[in-house]
């Protein structure tokens, strides 16, 4: 959550930055209105409280002077009732402001390029040369039919569209990729963790999925439980409402989980193949850091994901997202986009974000710096989306006869 005190002090600066993330004027106007209502409610309460204190002192003074205190006691009694009402009004105004603030995105960093959408993202670098073929490369669903790897029709039969079944080598390759990715990350200093796939609403709110993205979540009927859209949610919330020791930071974690998304806002895009599934495997990186170290950790996470792709011999590019393409919680984000020759384009396979203290403020994750408690910075990134890595291997390593070459680093995991 954004810092409401700072927002109130520097509203025009916040307004300018939030507009670069396509925040509507109506939301900002409503915020300004609620700030005014809260300010007035506090003012009314404080004035009534000052009167109460003044008259309470007068009672003591009158009693010393042996004056009749009947009338002033009645005034104090009536003002006490008024104070309770004004306190309720102040609390309700504060709750309305905080509820609205939960739907306000994080501010972009000053060095994030300004732009409306993905067309304004900035290329940082390309890694590895794209493969050349003596034949027209095919897309992964065509290759799957030749090799019997992915059964989309049975996925629909078992569940509905955008579910699939992996068989034979594909199922083993998925497992191999997960093991390889976790091993790779642990060698880079990330501790492996196994977390629940179901979490409560406080956990979802802590990382920004609720209330903003409720329509994209799978909720369990009659339970305060949701299927996770990413391991970022439980990993970050491991430390919700805790005060950490500065000496324990940074905390660097990695986990493999299934992820579940309704893809409510996808608008029918990428309905074919493994690009946009309702259920998919992903290996995640999460870090909890002091503010001073978070940029350094961010670069480590980008390098970790990029080096992982390089080790799998997958050409990719590193993109700096512009303000209009940043996610809700992100202050800055770098995407890694893998080359898919069958589709003749790059596709996102990893997204690394620094949320600064935005999630920490929502989840109340702090660290003790001497005698003072400060908000941590939280970071997260895909390392990698396993299904997209599988299809990238298929398309980049396809042979003319339809067979698929397995990257050398994975062969030991398939024995």
Q: Which of 15, 276, 303, 311 is catalytic?
A: 276
Mean pLDDT, the chain, as a whole number?
94
Backbone angles phi, psi at 269, to 5 degrees: -75, 145
Identify the residue with better confidence: 32 or 264: 32
Q: Which of 138, 356, 361, 388 is catalytic?
A: 388
Residue 317 annotated as catalytic? no
Q: Are 122 and 322 in contact (CB under 8 A)?
A: yes
Residue 240 annotated as catalytic? no
52 and 128 assigned to the same domain: no
Residue 198 has pLDDT above 60, yes or no: yes
Strand 372-375 and strand 365-369: the pairing is: antiparallel
Cα→Cα distances 150→154, 181, 292, 394, 398, Å: 9, 21, 46, 11, 15
Residue 108 lies in a domain: no
Confidence of residue 269 (pLDDT cuts 50, 70, 90): low
Taking only the tens place, the pLDDT of each residue in 94-106 is: 999 999 999 999 9
39 and 129 assigned to the same domain: no
Q: Which of 162, 261, 356, 362 is catalytic?
A: 261
Element (H, E) at 192: strand 191-192
Taking only the tens place, the pLDDT of each residue in 351-373 is: 999 999 999 999 999 999 888 99
What average pLDDT does the segment 378-399 reach? Answer: 97
Taking only the tens place, the pLDDT of each residue in 309-322 is: 999 999 999 999 99
14 and 153 assigned to the same domain: no
In the chain, pLDDT over 70 holds for what percent of residues? 98
Residue 65 lies in a domain: yes
What average pLDDT does the segment 224-235 reach? Answer: 98
Total number of domains in the chain: 2
pLDDT at 271: 63
142 and 286 assigned to the same domain: yes
pLDDT at 265: 59
96 and 130 assigned to the same domain: no
Residue 111 lies in a domain: no
pLDDT at 70: 86
Return the CATH number at 15. Answer: 1.10.287.40
Residue 217 lies in a domain: yes
pLDDT at 371: 85
What average pLDDT does the segment 331-356 reach? Answer: 97
Residue 193 has pLDDT above 70, yes or no: yes
Residue 195 lies in a domain: yes
78 and 144 assigned to the same domain: no
67 and 189 assigned to the same domain: no
pLDDT at 266: 60
260 and 352 assigned to the same domain: yes
Q: Which of 256, 350, 351, 382 is catalytic?
A: 351
Please give the residue range of the domain that contains residue 170: 118-414
Q: Is the dihedral of CA 109, 115, 117, 118 positive or negative?
A: negative
pLDDT at 69: 82
Residue 163 has pLDDT above 60, yes or no: yes
What average pLDDT does the segment 113-138 reach? Answer: 97
What average pLDDT does the segment 73-86 reach? Answer: 91
Return the CATH number at 148. Answer: 3.30.930.10
Lowest mean pLDDT, pick from 61-75, 120-134, 332-346: 61-75
Residue 261 annotated as catalytic? yes
92 and 137 assigned to the same domain: no
């Amino acid at each position: 959550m954004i810092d409401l005190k700072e927002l109130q002090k520097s509203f025009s600066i916040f307004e300018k930055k939030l507009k670069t993330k396509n925040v509507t004027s109506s939301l900002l106007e409503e915020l300004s209105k609620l700030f005014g209502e809260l300010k007035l409610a506090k003012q009314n309460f404080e004035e009534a409280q000052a009167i109460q204190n003044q008259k309470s002192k007068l009672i003591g003074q009158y009693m010393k002077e042996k004056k009749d205190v009947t009338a002033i006691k009645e005034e104090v009694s009536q003002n006490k009732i008024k104070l309770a009402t004004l306190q309720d009004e102040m609390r309700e105004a504060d709750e309305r402001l905080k509820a609205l603030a939960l739907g306000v995105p994080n501010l972009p960093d000053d060095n994030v390029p300004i732009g409306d959408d993905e067309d304004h993202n900035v290329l940082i670098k390309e890694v590895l040369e794209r493969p050349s073929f003596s034949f027209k490369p095919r897309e992964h669903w065509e290759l799957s039919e030749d090799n019997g790897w992915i059964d989309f029709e049975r996925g629909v039969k078992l569940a509905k569209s955008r579910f699939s079944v992996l068989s034979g080598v594909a199922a083993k390759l998925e497992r191999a990729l997960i093991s390889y990715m976790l091993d790779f990350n642990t060698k880079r200093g990330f501790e492996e963790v196994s977390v629940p796939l179901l979490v409560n609403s406080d956990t979802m709110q802590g990382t920004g999925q609720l209330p903003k993205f409720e329509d994209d979540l799978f909720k369990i009927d009659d339970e305060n439980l949701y299927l996770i859209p990413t391991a970022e949610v439980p990993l970050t919330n491991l430390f919700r409402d805790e005060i950490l020791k500065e000496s324990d930071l940074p905390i660097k974690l990695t986990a493999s989980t299934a992820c579940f998304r309704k893809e409510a806002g996808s608008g029918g895009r990428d309905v074919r193949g493994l690009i946009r599934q309702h259920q998919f495997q992903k290996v995640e990186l999460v870090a909890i850091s002091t503010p001073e170290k978070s940029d350094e950790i961010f670069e480590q996470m980008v390098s970790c994901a990029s080096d992982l792709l390089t080790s799998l011999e997958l050409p990719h590019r590193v993109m700096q997202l512009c303000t209009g393409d940043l996610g809700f919680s992100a202050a800055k984000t770098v995407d890694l986009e893998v080359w898919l020759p069958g589709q003749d384009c790059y596709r996102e396979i990893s997204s690394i974000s620094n949320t600064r203290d935005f999630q920490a403020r929502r989840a109340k994750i702090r660290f003790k710096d001497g005698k003072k408690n400060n908000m941590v910075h939280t970071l997260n990134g895909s390392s990698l989306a396993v299904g997209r890595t599988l299809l990238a291997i298929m398309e980049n390593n396809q042979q003319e006869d339809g067979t698929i070459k397995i990257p050398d680093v994975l062969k030991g995991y398939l024995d």
